[in-house]
Amino acid sequence: MSVLITGGAGYIGSHTIVELLNIGTDVVVIDNLSNSSLESLSRVKSITAQQVTFYEGDILDKALLRKIFSENNIEAAIHFAGLKAVGESVEQPLKYYTNNVTGTIVLCEVMAEFGIKNLVFSSSATVYGDPASLPILESFPASATNPYGQSKLVVEYILADLHHSDPSWNIACLRYFNPVGAHDSGLIGEDPNDIPNNLMPFISQVAIGKREKLMVFGDDYATPDGTGVRDYIHVVDLAVGHLKALDKLKTNCGLVTYNLGTGQGYSVLEMVKAFEKASNKKIKYDIVARRPGDIGACYADPKKAKIELNWAATHNLDDMVNSSWKWQSQNPKGYSD
Ligand code: NAD
Ligand code: WQD
């Protein structure tokens, strides 16, 4: 039996595949390589000495999905494939809704055709919008401030309706907080195509000399040092969370939703300081205006995942920044090195 990984050549997918292969699970990947390269999967092979079955193509391609389900004995899917750039989603909302929403619908239609009704979905803490209080519980009201976030929320609603219409579906929506870090080997990590949108890859690129300085978006939030606070979660912890979610699906859990975060928030300046220590480099920065749409602070209450999945983050901030720096310094140009 295999697990289908959509978007498996990407950042979180590749780390999850390593953990799956390490426990002896067969993996089938579909990825259109729109935001990744095949090199990530060849690195996965170097780490695990195991191979995945790879299909290059789009989840919107129903015929290809049918072929994949016909050719493999798939028992569940982990659905990472999606576009994730918030700014781009504001410019090109239809691209985001088509890829993220229609893509998920096509995947679910083909899964249903083949009677495979076990799904783990990559959701996001972005579905909490600007929370009224902290830490954030799964029961908090959902909202979104941009088309990317809206696409995640709409998919969550669609999956809830799907489960309601056919309770034999088992679906885990995992709401990731801020994934950072890289595999211990330094062989796989986050490799943004363009100018990084996210804090951690931006800081890494300043440390390696690719960018001159970081723009810190605002120092007037109601946080201890005025800069934004987030719940950064090591990508390997996140990967392990997916294995726990697959175990949960096997208990016929129905539709479940979990926060995957550490419960601990760090500010932008704390991240800068931690990265300086890890890299032994000075990170130059300027304080600039707030980024539109940003919130002051966001961190999870991760207790539900602890109780129901037996999952908790084990990597601390040093592990996150040290592994990021190892990946960045060993691969200054990412996978194109
Ligand atoms: P990523 O871009 O590295 O990986 C996504 C992968 O999906 C890429 O390899 C891309 O080529 C592929 N893909 C995109 N659209 C596709 C399509 N239509 N058909 C086939 N393949 C397609 O991103 P990631 O950081 O690994 O994120 C994985 C998932 O987790 C995404 O759904 C993202 O929205 C979600 N998520 C990410 C974060 C984060 O900060 N990284 C936070 C919360 C949620
Ligand atoms: C973190 C903090 C910024 C860059 C985004 C998406 C969210 C989710 C994760 C997918 C904030 C500050 C950042 C920079 C900065 N993705 N910052 N200078 O905004 O919490 O979440 O990624 O689901 O949907 O919105 O993450 O890494 O962009 O920012 O000062 O160059 O760093 O203001 O306080 P964010 P981030």
CA distances from 203 to 73, 269, 323 (A): 42, 11, 13
The pLDDT of residue 249: 98
Residue 257: the pLDDT is 99
Q: Are the C-beta atoms of 213 and 284 separated by less than 8 Å? A: yes
Torsion sign across C-alpha atoms 255, 242, 234, 208: negative
Atom of ligand 1 nearest to the CA of 81: 7
- Residue 34: the pLDDT is 97
Q: Within the chain, which residues score under 70 in pLDDT? A: none
Pocket test for ligand 1, best of 4, 5, 6, 12 (most atoms within 8 A of CB): 12
Give the per-residue pLDDT at 7. Answer: 99
Confirm or reject: Cβ of 178 under 6 Å from ligand 2.
yes
CA distance 218 to 133: 20
34 touches ligand 1 (CB under 6 Å): yes
Active-site residue, 148 included: yes
Closest ligand 1 atom to the C-alpha of 9? 9
Whether 103 is in the pocket of ligand 1, judged by its Cβ within 6 Å, is yes
Catalytic residue among 55, 97, 128, 148: 148
pLDDT of residue 15: 99
Residue 47: what pLDDT? 98
| Cross-strand partners of 255 | 171
Is the Cβ–Cβ distance between 72 and 53 less than 8 Å? yes
**What is the value of pTM for the model shown?**
0.99
- Identify the residue whose tokens are 């726990």: 244
Asked if 271 and 231 touch (Cβ cutoff 8 Å), the reply is: no
Q: How many CB atoms lie within 10 A of CB 33?
A: 13
102 lines ligand 1 (CB under 6 A): no
What pLDDT does residue 76 have? 98
